Homo-oligomer: A and B are copies of this chain.
Amino acid sequence: AGCNTPQNQVHSAALANGQDMSGNETRSSSSMGTLNQKPKPMTIVRHGNNVTINMYTEETMVTIAPGVQFPAWTFDGTVPGPVLYLQQGDHVTLTLHNLDPNMPHSIDLHAAQVAPNQDFTEVAPGKSKTITFDASIPGVFMYHCETEPMALHIAEGMYGAIIVTPKGQQPPTYTIVQSEFYQAMDLNAVLNDPPNYVVFNGEANRYVDHPLEAKVGQPLTVAFVNAGPNDFSAFHVVGTILRDVQASGNPNNHLYDVQTYTVAPGDGALIHLEFNAPGTYAFVSHSMSQMEKGAMGEFNVTG
């Protein structure tokens, strides 16, 4: 149903009900009393190593499991927000436009080495803010809203991956962001209860219905980010062994031929793997309660 690559993160169900794609206006959600702003995609333009990005914070209803809608706070109307693909050495100018009329938002990019009290600060409703940074260190990084209560802004959906590819290398084949969902807008649940759903790229069992494609013997890379907000992930692929795992996606870090890899909330990794035979290979968090709550996907491997 149109969501078979992680780059295309807006599940069709999240765009249902005759939403008008042309405007920017907010409107009430019929179901939960929250806004359901039309997703506004980010823009990214490159001139040599100068990259200009525009992103938009919005309140949007999203689908987090089959038939389950969630009133999200978002980057660009999707959960997770868009993957930002950069190259090591890029000079980045990023403008965050807060389209949410109800509250301030902000952006903290783990790839950016800047003063947080200058650059990761709040943007008031209707306002925008521009920051610049150099993508000097390669990696698979998380970005997220940093407005307090940050646990709630993240639980509501405000996170994504920013990938800085090392000089001379290719971007990852796939990007997977793990995250948890709790009772919506319930900070106490976020702080004290187990999650209701744990998902890859925003929707429980998303890649069971729509597997990721791979070829026998083809080296793949998965950029994996654990957005949390709370729980550690145990990334595992059934039926193969992870050839090389690079902590934080940095090419100087290696773990060879491991079965499972721990990813802290707020961390990422670049994972090299391949498949020996055609078939269907699940990828999961091997923390079983996470898997049963939706942290499960599949590779469809063909000869």
Q: Report which A residues bind B (CB closer than 8 A).
A: 108, 110-120, 137-139, 141-142, 146, 149-151, 154-155, 187, 190-192, 194, 228-232, 234, 236, 238-241, 247-248, 250, 252-253, 255-262, 264-268, 275-282, 286-293, 301
Contacts and interface: CB of A to CB of B under 8 A. Distances in A.
Contacts of A236: 110, 266
Nearest to A282: B116
A272 to B, nearest CB: 14
Most buried by B among A111, A118, A141, A256: A256
A253 B258 contact: yes
A291 B150 contact: yes
A164 to B, nearest CB: 10
A108 B259 CA distance: 12
A139 B257 CA distance: 8
Contacts of A232: 232, 234, 262, 264, 287
A253 B252 contact: no
Contact of A114 (B137, B192, B239): B239
A83 to B, nearest CB: 16
Nearest to A115: B279
A281 B250 contact: no
Contacts of A286: 228, 264-267
